[in-house]
Amino acid sequence: MTPFALRTPTQEPDLATAMRVVYQWSYAPEVEELRRLYVKAAEAQWVAARDLDWERPIDEEKLGATPLGLGLPIERTAFWRSLGEGLRRTLTRRTAIFRLSNFLHGEQGALMVAAQLVNAVPHIDAKFYAATQTMDEARHVEVFARYIGKLGEVDPIAPPLKGILDATLATGDWMQKLVGMQIVVEGLALYSFREMRNLTAEPLLRDILGYVARDESRHHAYGVQYVARCVPCLAPGERTALEDFAIEAARALIDNTSGQGMFSAMLRLWAEAGIDPVEMLTRLRSEGAGLSRSVPRRLGPMQGFVVPTLRRLGLLSDRAAARFHEVLRANLGGEVAGEDLETFLARLPELPADVAAWALSEIE
Ligand SMILES: [Fe+2]
Ligand SMILES: [Fe+2]
Give the orientation angle of helix 186-199 with respect to helix 85-120, to 10 degrees. 150
d(CA 264, CA 259): 5
The answer to whether 297 touches 336, Cβ cutoff 8 Å, is: yes
Residue 226 CA to ligand 2 center (angstroms) comes to 15
Residue 278 CA to ligand 1 center (angstroms) comes to 34
Closest CA to 144 of 100, 203, 185: 100
27 inside domain: no
pLDDT band for position 287 (cuts 50, 70, 90): confident
pLDDT of 288? 64
- Split into its structural domains, the chain has a count of 1
Closest CA to 41 of 90, 114, 120: 114
The answer to whether 127 touches 118, Cβ cutoff 8 Å, is: yes
pLDDT of 193? 93
346 inside domain: yes
Residue 106 CA to ligand 2 center (angstroms) comes to 9
Residues spanned by the domain of 80? 32-359
Mean pLDDT across 268-273: 88
Between residues 286 and 212, which one has the greater pLDDT?
A: 212
d(CA 268, CA 261): 11
Ligand nearest to the CA of 216: 2
Closest CA to 311 of 357, 345, 277, 282: 345
The yes-or-no verdict on residue 277 having pLDDT over 90 is no
Residue 50 CA to ligand 2 center (angstroms) comes to 21
165 inside domain: yes
16 inside domain: no
13 inside domain: no
81 inside domain: yes
Mean pLDDT of the chain: 91
> 335 in helix, strand or coil?
helix
The answer to whether 192 touches 103, Cβ cutoff 8 Å, is: yes
Residue 75 CA to ligand 1 center (angstroms) comes to 29
Instruction: Output the domain CATH number for residue 125.
Output: 1.10.620.20
Per-residue pLDDT tens digits for 189-237? 999 999 999 999 999 999 999 999 999 999 999 999 999 999 999 999 9
Residue 165 CA to ligand 2 center (angstroms) comes to 13
Q: Return the amino acid letter for 81.
A: R
163 inside domain: yes
pLDDT band for position 289 (cuts 50, 70, 90): low
d(CA 199, CA 203): 11
Closest CA to 38 of 183, 136, 169: 136
Residue 159 CA to ligand 1 center (angstroms) comes to 19
10 inside domain: no
The yes-or-no verdict on residue 77 having pLDDT over 90 is no
Percent of the chain with pLDDT over 70: 96
Give the orientation angle of helix 203-230 with respect to helix 32-43, to 10 degrees. 160
Residue 85 CA to ligand 1 center (angstroms) comes to 34
The yes-or-no verdict on residue 123 having pLDDT over 80 is yes
Per-residue pLDDT tens digits for 139-197? 999 999 999 999 888 999 999 999 999 999 999 999 999 999 999 999 999 999 999 99
pLDDT of 343? 95
The yes-or-no verdict on residue 295 having pLDDT over 70 is no
Residue 326 CA to ligand 2 center (angstroms) comes to 28
Residue 176 CA to ligand 2 center (angstroms) comes to 16
pLDDT band for position 293 (cuts 50, 70, 90): low
d(CA 192, CA 213): 9
Residue 319 CA to ligand 1 center (angstroms) comes to 31
